[in-house]
Amino acid sequence: MKTRYWESILKHFEKEVSTDRFALRPHCGRNRYDGGYTRWFPQSVHKRIVGGEESRVAEWPWLVSLQLKALDTEVRWVEGFEHPFKRFPGAMDELKKMSVDQLKAAIAQLRMRLKEYAPDQLAELDIDEHSEQEMTRKEGHMCGGALISPYWILSAKHCFQKKHEPALSLDPNRWIAVLGEHHLKEPERHQTEYEIAKIIIYPDEPEEVNDPSILLNDIALIKLARPAVLDEFVQIACLPYPEEAFREDQLCSVAGWGLTEDEGVMSFIPQHVHIPLVPNSQCKSIYDTAPTSAVNITPSVLCAGDRNGKDSCQYDSGGPLLCRSAVDNQRVITGIVSYGLRCASAYPGIYTRVPHYIDWIRNIINNN
């Protein structure tokens, strides 16, 4: 089963590989700091992170920045616009820190929520439609992703759904994938922009359609318009074997350009943090005390985080959670940053459990 699966994935590399189980994943999961990584390639190939540390250049060479293109060059992205699962800061001292544009964006978001849930009260807000339109004009980094083959990126479904954020889109022409990215605000010789050919999300369940606060099967695949060029700055992340299990309390890693503190600002340089896996039963018990019923701890998700202020946060969505495999000690994508109740709180972060979706990933790649 494992051999057939990896042979199908490795067809995208157009190379023969050993069927020995310890040689199935030598093509992935290595960075320039691991040492000897070039031997695996031909000679021509050279929810947010809170409480983490700054990553080195190419420390996570499979990490992708998924960025929205500008709809209107005269309207620039304003940091502070609401992102999926980011909560509007209600405290007066926080409001005083916000710019006029940020306040307009927040008001526009409130207006849209009122239109959905209490349209009869909308007239009480004397606000024109202009700020609401601005909500769809964001640009720049929105989500993370992981390169899993030269053509394919693994990310989160909610990164592309308007019901979570009006600016988001399933239209591949609205997006650009930046590989080899390090500093979001500085052009770098090792970064390359790739057009996107397809965005494929896991279909919504009926309860998701009827209630936007419910998020299930938070996984998406993005196909590049041309194959990525692999080098020391751009590499492939390993996928797990079907239903591969990982140890409870195992320490795993997550990286991204997300907020460095809850309600804080984005990091222009990726941060990473090492956090333990939390058993689903324990995670469910913790969330049973939460002031919300929208959290679903199902077998298709996993939880990770600690109570020492370490977590993923907004703009890290879609990025990979990587754990060491007990099979071959490779770092593999165990989870996808999905959502949580605030950042680095007493509630663990919730991640899409990637081994649960390996058959879906394989079918999408093989048929597209």
pLDDT in tens, 199-220: 999 998 887 777 767 788 999 9
Tell me, yes or no, if 169 is annotated catalytic: no
Q: Is the pLDDT of residue 171 over 60?
A: yes
* pLDDT, position 78: 38
Read off the pLDDT band of 21 (50, 70, 90): very low
Q: How far apart are the first and last CA of the chain?
A: 22
Q: Could you tell me the pLDDT band of residue 222, with boundaries at 50, 70 and 90?
A: very high
**Cα–Cα distance measured from residue 252 to residue 242, given in angstroms and rounded to the nearest whole number:** 19
Give the other-Cβ count within 10 Å of 362's Cβ.
17
Pairwise CA distance, residues 62 & 343, whole Å: 24
Q: Output helix, strand, coil percentages for the chain, rounded to the nearest 5.
A: 25, 20, 55
Q: How far apart are CA 280 and CA 4, in angstroms?
A: 30
**In whole angstroms, how far apart are CA 236 and each of 114, 136, 292?**
43, 32, 37
More confident residue, 131 or 186: 186
The mean pLDDT of the chain is: 74
Q: Is 44 a catalytic residue?
A: no
The confidence band for 89, taking pLDDT boundaries of 50, 70 and 90, is: very low
Place of tokens 């965005």: 199
- Determine the Cα–Cα distance for residues 153 and 137; give it in Å rounded to an integer: 24
Q: Which of 17-21, 187-191, 297-301, 354-358 has the lowest mean pLDDT?
A: 17-21
Q: Which of 218, 231, 311, 316 is catalytic?
A: 218
Range with the largest mean pLDDT of 10-14, 181-185, 280-284: 280-284
Confidence of residue 346 (pLDDT cuts 50, 70, 90): confident
Per mean pLDDT, which range of 90-104, 173-187, 336-350 is the poorest?
90-104
pLDDT of 94 higher than 90: no
pLDDT value of residue 95: 59
Among residues 158, 164, 182, 356, which one is catalytic? 158
* pLDDT exceeds cutoff 90 at 12: no
> Averaged over 357-363, what is the pLDDT?
95
Q: Is the pLDDT of residue 106 over 70?
A: no
Report which of residues 310 and 28 the model is more confident about.
28
> Residue 263 has what pLDDT?
52
pLDDT at residue 223, rounded to an integer: 98
The DSSP letter of residue 158 is G
Give the residue-averaged pLDDT of 68-88: 47
CB proximity list for 271: less than 8 A, separation 6 or greater: 49, 52, 53, 54, 55, 255, 256, 257, 258, 260
Give the CATH fold of the 25-69+139-367 domain.
Thrombin, subunit H (2.40.10)
Rounded to whole angstroms, the Cα distance separating 51 from 110 reads 30
Work out the number of other CB atoms within 10 angstroms of the CB of residue 7: 13
Most confident residue range from 7-11, 90-94, 256-260 = 256-260
How much of the chain, in percent, has pLDDT values that exceed 90?
34
**Active-site position among 149, 155, 267, 317:** 317
pLDDT of residue 176: 96
| pLDDT surpassing 90 at residue 330 | no
pTM of the model: 0.73
Q: How confident is the model at residue 42 (pLDDT cuts 50, 70, 90)?
A: very low
Triad 46, 52, 57: Cα angle to 5°: 20
Q: How many CA atoms lie within 13 A of 199 on its CB side?
A: 21
- Would residue 317 show up in a list of annotated catalytic residues for this protein? yes
